[in-house]
Amino acid sequence: MAERCVYWPAQRTLIAADLHLGKCDTFRAAGLAMPSRVAAGVLEEQLARLARALTLTGAQRLLVVGDLLHAPAGLTPEMVDAVARWRSGNGVRLMLVSGNHDRRIERVSEPWRVEIETGSLREGPFVFVHDPAEAPAEDGLFSWCGHVHPTVRVVSGVDAVKLPCFVIDRRAAILPAFSRFTSGVAIRAANDRRLFAIAEDSVIPMR
């Protein structure tokens, strides 16, 4: 999807990675001069995009492949309450395969109604794991991962732009960071690896 996530129709599940909720609040806690309204606006925009994707797909479950949170310092009362209000407005099941940033996720597991899986989650032919380096190499399994925040550099004449992208090979898919407030790692296409760039409302296969 152009919303940086993937819909699994058979399980009515929306799959996303790297939301990094509370990142702005973490920066503010570290002393960065960022107005509270900016942090609130980033969170509001992110939750609105999630709500739109859930509505569009009719998903009954949201499965986050790691890094729902950014850091414990970002768990301000305002941020926790904002997400709790958003959760109270939908009955979608929320599952998290915990990532390296999800420290103290247990603090919000009850108000946010989060079901937490540590390590990985296996369902049918799929394995959901945060770090691609930890994806199993077992034949017949396909892994869905995050962590990398993949991007692709698109060049046209003297202009260049870096776009978030999906990375897919025969064993795994790496999802782009759902958060727009993240940096990304540039990935190159290869014979056994395809990239799909996200540009506004379109997903574009890259050569």
The larger pLDDT score, comparing residue 64 to residue 183, is at 64
First and final CA of the chain: distance in angstroms?
19
Give residue limits of the domains in the chain.
6-147
Average pLDDT over residues 98-118: 96
Residue 1 has pLDDT above 70, yes or no: no
Level-2 CATH architecture, domain 6-147: 4-Layer Sandwich (3.60)
pLDDT tens per residue, range 110-161: 999 999 999 999 999 999 999 999 999 888 899 999 999 999 988 776 778 8
CB crowding 106-123: b at 16 or more within 10 Å, else e: eebeeebebeeeeebbee
Average pLDDT over residues 166-185: 93
Average pLDDT over residues 164-168: 96
Kind and range of the H or E run holding 29: helix 23-29
